[in-house]
Amino acid sequence: MKKVFLLSLVLLLTGCNITVLDPKSETASEQAFLITFSFWIMMIVVVTVFILFARFVWKYRYTNSRKHILPKDVKGNIKLEITWIIIPVLLLIILAVPTLAITYDQSPEWTKESEDAGIEIDVTGKQFNWLFRHRNGKEEMDKLVIPEGESIILNLRSEDVIHSFWVPELGGKVDVMPGKELTYEIKHPQRGTYQGKCAEYCGLGHTDMTFQVEVVSTQAYAQYLHQ
Amino acid sequence: MERVMIMRKQEAELFQDKKVGFFIYLGVEAVMFAVLFATYMIFTPAGSGPYPSDVFQAEMVLLSSLFLLSSSVTLYVAEKGIQARKGKKTLLSLGLTLGLAIVFLGLESYEFYTFVQEGYGLSTSVFLSSFYVLVGLHAAHVTFGIGWMIVLFIHYVRPNVSYSLYKEKQTIFSYYWHFVDCIWVFIILIVYLPYLV
Amino acid sequence: MKLSVFGYELVIPTDIIAAWVSVILIGIVAGYIIIKKRKLGVVWDYMKTTNHRKIGILYLLFGIIYFFRAGVDALLIRTQLAVPNNDFWVFQGEKYNELFTTHGTLMIFFVAMPLLLGLMNIAVPLQIGAKDLAFPFLNSLGFWLFFAGSLFFNIAFFLNLTPEVGWTGYAPLSRAEFTPGAGTEFYVFGLQISGLGTIFTALNLIVTIIRHRAPGMSYTRMPLFAWASLITSFLILIAFTVLAIALYLLMFDRLFGTGFFSGDEGDPVFWQHLFWIFGHPEVYILALPAFGIFSDIISTFSKKRIFGYGTMVASIVLIGFLGFMVWVHHMFTVGLGPVVNTFFAITTMAIAIPTGIKVFNWLFTMRGGVIHFTTPMLFALGFIPSFVIGGVTGVMLSLSAADFQFHDTHFVVAHFHYVIIASTILGVFAGLYYWYPKITGYMLDEKLGKWHFWTFLIGYHITFFPMHITGLEGMPRRVYTYSEADGIFILNAISTVGAFLMGISMLFVIWNVYKTHKKKKKVSGDPWDGRTLEWTVSSPAPEHTFEPMPVIHSMDAYWYAKVKNKPLPATTNVRVKPLERDSIQPFCIAMSLFIVSTGLTFRWYWLAILGGVMLFALLILRSITDEREDFYGKSDDHA
Ligand code: HEA
Ligand code: HEA
Ligand code: CUA
Ligand SMILES: [Cu+2]
């Protein structure tokens, strides 16, 4: 168990190889920060428990010399018990602060007019394709082209069941609902080509409901719109 | 004599078990109806389809409520009767309760029937769907109660059923019936009233 | 495979054929053994029994059978996911979707639930000094309803009608427009019937614990497993009732054309709310009894009283209470808005606190003790660190913005297998080894038990640890394959190896049970040097227990009596024991609901009505054959 954990530590330290921890937009960076930050706080908890665990199990194990010991009864210890209420509360408060800030900023919402100006794109999910519709009416199936560095505002809606829009490098998921339009914002994507996928189980073709995202320069995007 | 006392005590213990169990069961029923009330409130009025006040008829609700709620009174009399060991009083008021329940069920079936005739069926709109699943489930409870009362009559005449056992059975039934009535009050308050006044 | 019957072309997938063949073979072997050893009487006896220990055995038996079945599903899942672009047998697309639906539903409803209910059924009455559950008939009915529901759900596979909506059955996918076949009906009715049974059993346990404790067994002296069972039962009453209504509405949507969960007029999110108002408390329903088992075991094998009994009880209550306030953490990406998301993020994080109290109290129970590494204790020791890993990933998931990335990936799969297997599955194994003498009179082999423990624990970490990383690499749940470019091949292959190691570990259990029953070495009533009342009765627990009834003056009274070398005080002046009489009626009632469901599923309404008539006839029959009739009024005349 310990070994597995060390392995994971190494992997997470070299986290830049892991997709989600190697973000390519501001939105995803904030999320990656939250993940790494919470990971380290959780490591404090895990390491504390593991050390106590290993120590107690080793020290108080049954041995021949301890055969006839009748352990003293301890009913409890209010001071200790309060300690392990207070410390977790503090850790959770530390965690809650960035969580609240980022969640407030990022949560997808049912049709709200976005205050920020940005590139608006209508996304329609249906079994088992994605249709992207740009402001000037240009449509493309399963391929999303967006300009780098801008705010991308997605208006998502489904024609049938629930899907979920996800490009790991650019940001978290937003569900795509029938009958309701959701708005989600991806801030400042970086140039590159990424895989997008449907993250909500939606039936037979769920696995294959993928799409391509190309983040291109602003000029290239303008060109693309008029192709 | 002592034997009788022990017996009484043991019966009381068993009855208390049953009572506690049954009250918990009614708690389960309450959660069930609460979820259905919530469903009704979420979906009513529906975006499309008829508006509730176009569907409901005040007289119908008033009339059926009259019958169902008075059945709680007659059942109460039956409880008094069984406690005082007045066989006739018990049977008579229980019979009256049964009658009132049957009339209620008839009226409610008629109400549903007229709704459907007017084109307000189960799947016409989400409002009507949630109306039917809620009020329909209540009607199913009334139906079950009617069956239960009939079985009570059977028990009354069966030689194997002692007085104390019969009393228990009727008491448990009366909890059920008052509960069903209570749900009806909520149905009036939540389902009908907001759209009839 | 294609068959041509009377000119019809029938396509039967080979996995279905394999299932039929294996079930028929197992059936023949089982039937042969039963008849050869003249055990038909035993089967009949168990079908009629109302004794809590025997019903508990039935729960455990079927829980374990379904564990093997759902485990085989898990191995098939892992085989298909072992390498990129795999084409294993038939398990791509539709068949894969059926696979994880069956695996998840079976594991949660038909493995974890019956195993826990079985242990509660056996141990709780013995721990609190009750002579049986308060309502023996209802107990039997509860089991047979569970059985009928599980049978109904399982039959779907043999008819090639397996549901494929995930264990969460999200609408509108679960509505008839998108899953028109009868498959989803099996999900709806299977859960409905078995859920009803679970509610009855929970009710029964509550009344038993409230009203049937031994004299002096106050709430402050009750073993923690009994406490956990009590709180869990309350959670069941609320959670399973909400599920029942959710399924009731879904049934109307599917069969009678209503639109509660449709995308146009209804609201698919409403299903999610209902499902998770059930679903989240459900995960604590799975965890709390396991916590109770571990508390008793850790205390027993550290030879020390539990540390902080009061806070242990308080934290169970608090977890149960908070469990109803966090359900939206499964729905962060649904778009309920920032206020809702943050509110539920915070309530979710708060659950870490009472859970933490428990973890540290367990640790400090061991401190200063003398820890005996018996098999049950090993499982308890394996639980603590594993559960903490799973718990902290839960806290990471609860950070709503981070969950936008985690949601519906294998990170979530890793989280919940960590917590569920650490708590429920290890807890059930611990409980099985611990109470096996009380259940059967034999002690399971310790050496094989330890082999089982180590292979299972190692396999479990090898299987699920890599999934954290594949999740972060962008692997969604419920997909049957991935490409080489995703860079997750090695990690998935490791997972698969681990899964097979877990499979192998289960073979030790089979071997162990076989060996134990071959040896037939009886043990005493108190083989573990226990602390609680179940160890005062003989092994296996007889049908008439606690005669005379012990009188309790402290927590762990039996232990302190042993320490002082004095017998427990006892009394014969006790309340009447629950009335019971063997009856086949519970079985028949459950089967009539099975018939109703079959009728509704295939729209054979005549059959549904027939089943309904049968049900009511049986209820009347039950009413006039009430065992109370022979007991009541011996002192009294007729009405
Ligand atoms: C036994 C079952 C079980 C248990 C006990 C838990 C416990 C917890 N779970 Fe888990 N969960 C599931 C079973 C369980 N879960 C399942 C089945 C799913 C997926 C369902 C599906 O989608 O199919 C799920 C999914 C799930 C999600 C949704 C993920 C998603 O789909 O996006 C979330 C999000 O918040 C979550 C959070 C938590 C938290 C915070 C706890 C907490 O209770 C954990 C608390 C424990 C600890 C934290 C460790 C001990 C504490 C300490 C040592 C004290 C100090 C700690 C701190 C200061 C942090 N769980
Ligand atoms: C109690 C709950 C529980 C338990 C114990 C398990 C146990 C296991 N689960 Fe479970 N799992 C769920 C509950 C559970 N699971 C749920 C709720 C889901 C979500 C479903 C959904 O998405 O809808 C899920 C989903 C799920 C997935 C994700 C599928 C996907 O999203 O694509 C995977 C993938 O690896 C997996 C693997 C495993 C494995 C390897 C085990 C192993 O621990 C299994 C170990 C057991 C065995 C291996 C069987 C033992 C024996 C033998 C095989 C003996 C050999 C046979 C003979 C001699 C005849 N599970
Ligand atoms: Cu669309 Cu999954
Ligand atoms: Cu949850």
Per-residue pLDDT tens over the stretch C494-506: 999 999 999 999 9
What is the per-residue pLDDT for A69?
A: 83
- For residue C9, the 8-state DSSP code is E
Residue C93 has pLDDT above 70, yes or no: yes
Tokens of C376: 């049950």
Task: Break chain C into its structural domains and give their ranges.
Answer: 1-38, 39-561+571-632
Which residues are found with C-beta within 5 Å of the ion, ligand 4? C 280
What is the per-residue pLDDT for C638?
A: 43
- The residues that bridge with A158 in the sheet, in sequence order, are A125, A178
Identify the top-confidence range among A64-78, A138-152, B134-148: B134-148
C414: CA distance to ligand 2 center in Å?
11
List, in order, residues 6 or more apart from B116 with CB less than 8 Å away: none
- Closest partner residue to B123 (CB to CB) among C134, C246, C257 is C257
Residue B176 has pLDDT above 80, yes or no: yes
What is the per-residue pLDDT for A9?
A: 52
Length of chain C: 639
Lowest-confidence region among A73-87, C224-238, C432-446, C466-480: A73-87
Q: Which ligand is nearest to the CA of A123?
A: 3
Segment C276-294 mean pLDDT: 96
The 10s digit of each residue's pLDDT in B84-111 is 888 889 999 999 999 999 999 999 999 9
**Which chain C residues have a beta carbon less than 8 Å from that of A100?**
342, 345
Closest C-alpha among C312, C128, C309, C295 to residue C216 = C128
- Residue with the bigger pLDDT between C148 and A66: it is C148
Mean pLDDT over the full length of chain C? 92
The 10s digit of each residue's pLDDT in A4-40 is 454 555 555 554 578 888 898 999 999 999 999 999 9
Interface contact flag, B4 C635, Cβ < 8 Å: yes
Residue A47 has pLDDT above 80, yes or no: yes
Under the banding of pLDDT at 50, 70 and 90, the label for residue C637 is very low
What is the per-residue pLDDT for A2?
A: 47
**Which chain C residues have a beta carbon less than 8 Å from that of A182?**
335
Mean pLDDT over the full length of chain B? 92
What is the per-residue pLDDT for A113?
A: 60
What is the per-residue pLDDT for B173?
A: 96
**3-class secondary structure per residue, chain A:** CHHHHHHHHHHHHCHHHCHHHCCCCHHHHHHHHHHHHHHHHHHHHHHHHHHHHHHHHHHCECCHHHCCCCCCCCCCCHHHHHHHHHHHHHHHHHHHHHHHHHHHHHCCEECCCCCCCCEEEEEEEECCEEEEEECCCCEEECEEEEECCCEEEEEEEECCCCEEEEECCCEEEEEECECCCEEEEEECCCCEEEEEEECCCCCCCHHHCEEEEEEECHHHHHHHHCC
Residue C634 has pLDDT above 70, yes or no: no
Tokens of C457: 């624990």
Length of chain B: 197
What is the per-residue pLDDT for C547?
A: 85
C499: CA distance to ligand 2 center in Å?
8
Under the banding of pLDDT at 50, 70 and 90, the label for residue C574 is confident
- Is the C-beta atom of C192 inside 6 A of ligand 1? no
- Using DSSP bridges, classify how beta strands A109-110 and A143-147 pair: parallel, antiparallel or unpaired: unpaired
Record: fold of B2-195: Four Helix Bundle (Hemerythrin (Met), subunit A) (1.20.120)
C103: CA distance to ligand 2 center in Å?
6
- Is the C-beta atom of C526 inside 6 A of ligand 1? no
In terms of C-beta density within 10 A (0-12 exposed, 13-18 middle, 19 or more buried), how is residue B84 classed?
exposed
Helix (H) or strand (E) holding C299: helix C268-302
- What CATH code is assigned to C39-561+571-632? 1.20.210.10
- Which of the listed residues C68, C72, C99, C103 should we mutate to test ligand 2's pocket, taking the one with most ligand atoms within 8 A of CB? C103
**Which chain C residues have a beta carbon less than 8 Å from that of A160?**
172, 178, 263
What atom in ligand 1 is closest to the CA of residue A87?
Answer: 58
Under the banding of pLDDT at 50, 70 and 90, the label for residue A165 is very high
Under the banding of pLDDT at 50, 70 and 90, the label for residue C2 is low
Name the residue in chain A with its Cα closest to that of C463: A4
d(CA A127, CA C478): 15
**Which chain A residues have a beta carbon less than 8 Å from that of C337?**
107, 109-110
The 10s digit of each residue's pLDDT in C15-49 is 888 888 888 999 999 889 888 888 888 899 999 99
What is the per-residue pLDDT for C224?
A: 96
Name the residue in chain B with its Cα closest to that of C625: B160
Residues with CB under 6 A from ligand 3: A 125, 128, 163, 198, 200-202, 206, 209
Name the residue in chain A with its Cα closest to that of C374: A62
ipTM of the shown complex = 0.94
Burial of B57-76, coded b for 16+ CB within 10 Å and e otherwise, reads: eeebbebbbebbbbbbebbe
- Cβ atoms B89, B80 nearer than 8 A: yes
- Taking the CB of residue C255, how many other CB atoms lie within 10 A of it? 14
Domains defined along chain A, listed by start: 2-64+75-106 (1.10.287.90), 110-225 (2.60.40.420)
Q: Which pTM does this prediction carry?
A: 0.95
Angle at C414 between CA C430 and CA C297, to 5 degrees: 15
